[in-house]
Amino acid sequence: MKFAWRIFILCIGVYILSLTVTGIIVTENTYNSLLNKEIERSIDEADNLYSTLTLYLINNMRVSGREIELKDYSQGIVDMFETENSYLEIFDENLNLLASNTTQAWFLPRKELEAALQGQKNFILRRDDTGAHYLFISDMLRIDEEKMVLSFIKDISHIDEQRKEQYLFFFRVGIIGLFFVALIAWFISKFVIKPIKELSLTARSIASGNYKERAKVTGSDEVGLLAEQFNIMASEIERRISQLENESERKQRFIDNLTHELRTPLTSIIGYAEVLQKIDYDPEIFYKSLNYIQAEGSRMLKLANTLMDVILLREKALQLEKHNVLPILQEIKEIMKVKAEEKGLSIKVQGEETRLLLDKDLFKGAIINLVDNSINASEQGTIVLGIEKDQDKVAVFVQDEGKGMEDWERKRVREPFYRIEKSRSRKEGGLGLGLAITHQIVEGHGAELEIESQPGQGTKVSIVFNKSDLVSP
């Protein structure tokens, strides 16, 4: 069932329940109030009747000057009593009916008469077979030693009719009100459901691939907060989808580059092998072909070993220990010094002593790779290995004065097999995996690799640690 119909049915249900409860409470309260007032009024009327009859009988007894028998006056008393919807019954002390002006006989136990004969004035409510409602008020009338019981009967069916009419009134009003409430509830449900429907349409649009779609936030209520959270979720989905697409693209480039890297040496190896098979033996061509086959085979072996290092870095947990960083940088300077001097470059180390949790061999390999890249990218100047500190971070960096990179190149250099200068890198034996491995080593240390570069102004690559990674001496 749709949410709008649920709201509509809920409103109608609340209205019907409220009207029913209110109608019952009001009607029954009114009925009971009228009934009690009618009982009180009838009791007062019966009291007046008894007082009048007592005075009438005493006066007749004085006028006649002799004792009278009450039963001789019973029919006369009943004949005198003519009131609309009121009746009178007179019984002797044996509860035998002496006179009555009721239109029907009551064939049922008359316990109220027995109680009246004992001197207890009482009343009781009864219904006849037709559903008519009657009030019976009984009392004993005593003159000298004679007794008789008077039963005052009042037809109070009009009170029941009033109750029935009031219920009908509530029903008619309820039907009319139901029509208006249904219209109001329908418009309210449409109004309430509108932002939810818009949110549903937005979700459907996003599900169909339109990840830039956003829900309209029209207020600060629960639906508005839901729309805000939905937009946050949509933004995160868009970011994740973009991330997955980029990752898929990088993986495809990795496969393409790997295929290319394998195809080139294999083509050379097969080609020279075919030459050796087809031509007559020539020592010069023979040794030249073998050298090419060996060189290309070695390059394939280097590629396989490097790829294995990438896999191991992903699977292997780093062995972190406390190390001073400055001595490690001094070691790297001595290792790379000869290669740098061959190109007319110098290397210097700067910064203050710092202790970090490191896997020394892997960290050292990562810095050596950065220095090697700087040497390859530089024609002159100085390569700086240094340590920088601020309030929150510690950075170990390698900075050169080489060719630098464009922004789009700086974003891709972490990708496997990516080379800024492919011909020169291939000539020098580079595979384009060095910075990708360095990136994994840095992430394994819980650090970040930051690259700053401008074309013609050099490059600065920093391994940034949080201050929490510092250890005391």
Q: Per-residue pLDDT averaged across 110-128, rounded?
A: 87
pLDDT tens-digit series, residues 18-75: 988 998 999 999 999 999 999 999 989 888 888 888 887 777 777 766 666 667 777 8
Distance, CA of 279 to CA of 288 (rounded, Å): 13
Distance, CA of 342 to CA of 386 (rounded, Å): 22
Three-state SS letters, the chain: CCHHHHHHHHHHHHHHHHHHHHHHHHHHHHHHHHHHHHHHHHHHHHHHHHHHHHHHHHHHHHHHCCCCCHHHHHHHHHHHCCECCEEEEEEECCCCEEEECCCCCCCCCCHHHHHHHCCCCEEEEEECCCCCEEEEEEEEEEECCEEEEEEEEEECHHHHHHHHHHHHHHHHHHHHHHHHHHHHHHHHHHHHHHHHHHHHHHHHHHHCCCCCCCCCCCCCCHHHHHHHHHHHHHHHHHHHHHHHHHHHHHHHHHHHHHHHHHHHHHHHHHHHHHHHHHCCCCHHHHHHHHHHHHHHHHHHHHHHHHHHHHHHHHHCCCCCEEEEHHHHHHHHHHHHHHHHHHCCCEEEEECCCCEEEECHHHHHHHHHHHHHHHHHHCCCCEEEEEEEECCCEEEEEEECCCCCCCHHHHHHCCCCCCCCCHHHHHHCCCCCCHHHHHHHHHHHCCCEEEEEEECCCEEEEEEEEEHHHECCC
Provide CB contacts within 8 A for 420, sequence distance 6+: 377, 405, 409, 413
Cα Dmax for the chain = 179
pLDDT at residue 203 is higher than 90: no
Domain ranges of the chain: 3-162, 211-316, 319-469
Confidence at residue 81, expressed as pLDDT on a 0 to 100 scale: 76
Q: Per-residue pLDDT averaged across 187-215, rounded?
A: 76
Confidence at residue 185, expressed as pLDDT on a 0 to 100 scale: 82
Distance, CA of 292 to CA of 161 (rounded, Å): 118
Distance, CA of 33 to CA of 41 (rounded, Å): 12
Output 424 or 460, whichever has higher pLDDT. Answer: 460
pLDDT tens-digit series, residues 223-236: 777 777 777 888 88
Classify domain 211-316 at the CATH topology level.
Helix Hairpins (1.10.287)
In terms of CATH architecture, what is 3-162? 2-Layer Sandwich (3.30)
Q: At what angle do helices 434-444 and 360-377 cross, to 10 degrees?
A: 140
Distance, CA of 289 to CA of 285 (rounded, Å): 6
Output 234 or 90, whichever has higher pLDDT. Answer: 90
Confidence at residue 426, expressed as pLDDT on a 0 to 100 scale: 45
Residue 178 CB-density burial (10 A; 0-12 exposed, 13-18 middle, 19+ buried): middle
Which of these, 174, 167, 172, lies nearest to 18 by C-alpha position? 174
Which of these, 451, 448, 376, 371, lies nearest to 411 by C-alpha position? 451
pLDDT tens-digit series, residues 271-290: 777 777 777 777 777 777 77
pLDDT tens-digit series, residues 311-359: 555 556 667 888 899 999 998 888 888 888 888 899 999 988 888 888 8
Query: Letter for the amino acid at 111?
Result: K
pLDDT at residue 112 is higher than 60: yes
The pTM assigned to this predicted structure is: 0.47
Distance, CA of 16 to CA of 174 (rounded, Å): 8
Confidence at residue 384, expressed as pLDDT on a 0 to 100 scale: 92
- Give the confidence band of 415 by pLDDT, cuts at 50, 70, 90: low
pLDDT tens-digit series, residues 142-164: 877 778 888 898 999 999 999 99
Looking at domain 319-469, its CATH class is: alpha beta
Same topology between domain 3-162 and domain 211-316:
no
Place of tokens 């496997």: 416
> Can you say how many angstroms the Cα of residue 315 is from the centroid of all Cα atoms in its chain?
38
